[in-house]
Structure 1
């Protein structure tokens, strides 16, 4: 028995209805439905899963079925010939129903979750971050877009990404179930992927974004640490690498003033670290590694070699070192800059 025919699921006359297709479900519409339920317009909406055009035409919004993308009529399908909608803002992956819903409703969903105004500058930052880190992969997988531009044979398979996990909620090919059971499994899948979305959003809002603010503050103050602007100092540790590269671009920092070394207290807050900035976030190569003659040397031997008291170590690759004091790592950074 389909959702639209089941007496227990008849919708109230004044209740809005979200429509999507029945049968086998995928991550994109499972997330799209969850996201719509986090908007003011559709928070209390019912759900109809069907492919019957006459039934879909009674719905207030339709996702992932119907062959139409039209914001004015609240139709958000992506399967029709000629559909090439992308998120924009530097993203070029074709959207699925999840990306379409997120593109149009994402700012409101984030604002509702954080209980702040949509005009708050945090909203756009988080809106773009969540697309990059969570939604885009769902769009690409649903549209059959390879992660790599050329065909490479993978060394192993990944069957634990969120799109695959949603798919695992579907009944097995030889499992005999009725439409009501499939609808219930869809709701379970939607709740699962939606909960992961909210968990990620909470992390980015409450941990990632505050770290970004700390990195921005340190970048703006770096010339008070060293006139060259090449040394960044954090009074407390914060994840800095990803933010530093993004903010360098945002602030249009000239190449000659980009940071070379980052200084911060270690996890015990009793010692300090000096870390060379890599050439890119994923690279093991540094913009300027710590001096070769310091590498692999420790403690008093390193203090004698460098002329800086309190040295603890310099890694054999030269990407990181330690000293007992802030003054010590600052002295090491000043020396390394000119060696």
Structure 2
């Protein structure tokens, strides 16, 4: 589970996207050793149709100090691959000590760990071994910093794991459930669409050029997601911890009522803190201000992604608005209670707190 990080670091772009060059991708050639200079590392991956996992794996490697200025060799020729400094998604070998990172071989069952059990693709393998270095460099922090560890886990959960699952053919839902609609806009689908169609030219030069675009696409999204979690998600964690402590000390000793003086993304942090044992699983209502300056009282869901609440706001209030709701509650200034009882609104902080306190007693 995600560990608590006490202090926020506002990261700079330690390595901007411009340092990811769409370099000339080297084709099969007996002159590979001549092209490889003493200071140039070679990344190897398979040629032909490409996928999201190795496209991202190559980008991630180029965010490390070792492979920042590397060339890329796309081939299935074992002799050529053996001359590369690191090989991903081809070769039927997983051995970090030899810098070989394939996941297609029989018997491969490597997972990320830390509670994650999805079989890794080449993206997950590279992220598992190099992710902390990449994050630390991006944030200009030491790799051992607790914030790096927290973001390393979060980025796997929110970004990498789904790519691993898709590449390995692991369904998100049981196979007997028929999806209500198709979704072809995910990152893996968009990378796949960069491959030439069956009736388009698809020689090695074209495929290599499109692979470079795919790798940049995956990398831009990875870094964008990382910047969001470093600059927006992680700072909220400390504020949630502070609010929980203050609310329990001065508002509700039971810990059922939580007051946030400003809106911030609190759900994931609340559930992480509960799972880690930092706080008890008691929070029932969270009161916070919205973007208009009004106040909300929200029922804590049974899980982060659930629409069911631990204790929905009282049934007699649900679906009522404004004066009708104020009369029903006896609290002037009410705005609404959602028909499902998961959230309500009030003009003032004091009014929202009053509604939450009344709901706890009902």
**TM superposition score normalised by structure 2:** 0.87
For residue 292 of structure 2, what is the aligned residue in structure 1? 268
The worse-fitting range, judged by mean Cα deviation, of 246-255 and 92-101 is: 246-255
CA distance in 1, matches of 2:171, 2:131: 25
Aligned residues: 336
Displacement of 1:236 in angstroms is 0.6
Displacement of 1:130 in angstroms is 1.0
For residue 9 of structure 2, what is the aligned residue in structure 1? none
CA distance in 1, matches of 2:179, 2:319: 36
Q: 1:244 aligns with which of 249, 270, 281?
A: 270
Q: Which has the higher contact order (CA 8 A, sep 6+)?
A: 2
Displacement of 1:2 in angstroms is 6.2
For residue 232 of structure 1, what is the aligned residue in structure 2? 258
The alignment status of 1:308 with 2:331, answered yes or no, reads yes
Q: CA 1:158/1:225 → structure 2, altered by over 3 Å: closer, same or farther?
A: same
CA distance in 1, matches of 2:303, 2:263: 20
For residue 11 of structure 2, what is the aligned residue in structure 1? none
The alignment status of 1:322 with 2:355, answered yes or no, reads no
For residue 319 of structure 2, what is the aligned residue in structure 1? 296
For residue 117 of structure 1, what is the aligned residue in structure 2? 142
- Aligned-residue CA RMSD in angstroms? 2.0
The alignment status of 1:154 with 2:198, answered yes or no, reads no
User: Residues 158-173 of structure 1: matches in 2 within 5 Å?
Assistant: 158-173=183-198
Displacement of 1:10 in angstroms is 2.6
User: Residues 104-253 of structure 1: matches in 2 within 5 Å?
Assistant: 104-223=129-248, 224-253=250-279
Displacement of 1:151 in angstroms is 3.1
The worse-fitting range, judged by mean Cα deviation, of 178-187 and 148-157 is: 148-157
The alignment status of 1:91 with 2:116, answered yes or no, reads yes
CA distance in 2, matches of 1:311, 1:154: 40
CA distance in 1, matches of 2:119, 2:56: 16
SS in 2 for 1:316: coil
CA distance in 2, matches of 1:103, 1:319: 38
SS in 1 for 2:112: strand
For residue 10 of structure 2, what is the aligned residue in structure 1? none
Could you report, residue by residue, the CA deviation over 1:7-34 in whole angstroms, capped at 9, with x for unpaired residues? 8993323311111111111111110000
Q: CA 1:337/1:49 → structure 2, altered by over 3 Å: closer, same or farther?
A: same
CA distance in 2, matches of 1:75, 1:164: 26
CA distance in 2, matches of 1:80, 1:314: 55
CA distance in 2, matches of 1:267, 1:99: 38
Q: Is the 8 A contact 1:314 1:320 kept in 2?
A: yes
The alignment status of 1:337 with 2:360, answered yes or no, reads yes
Gaps of 5+ in 1: none
User: Residues 31-46 of structure 1: matches in 2 within 5 Å?
Assistant: 31-46=56-71
Q: Is the 8 A contact 1:222 1:230 kept in 2?
A: no
SS in 2 for 1:72: helix
CA distance in 2, matches of 1:12, 1:170: 31
For residue 14 of structure 2, what is the aligned residue in structure 1? none
Q: Is the 8 A contact 2:256 2:284 kept in 1?
A: yes
For residue 5 of structure 1, what is the aligned residue in structure 2? 29
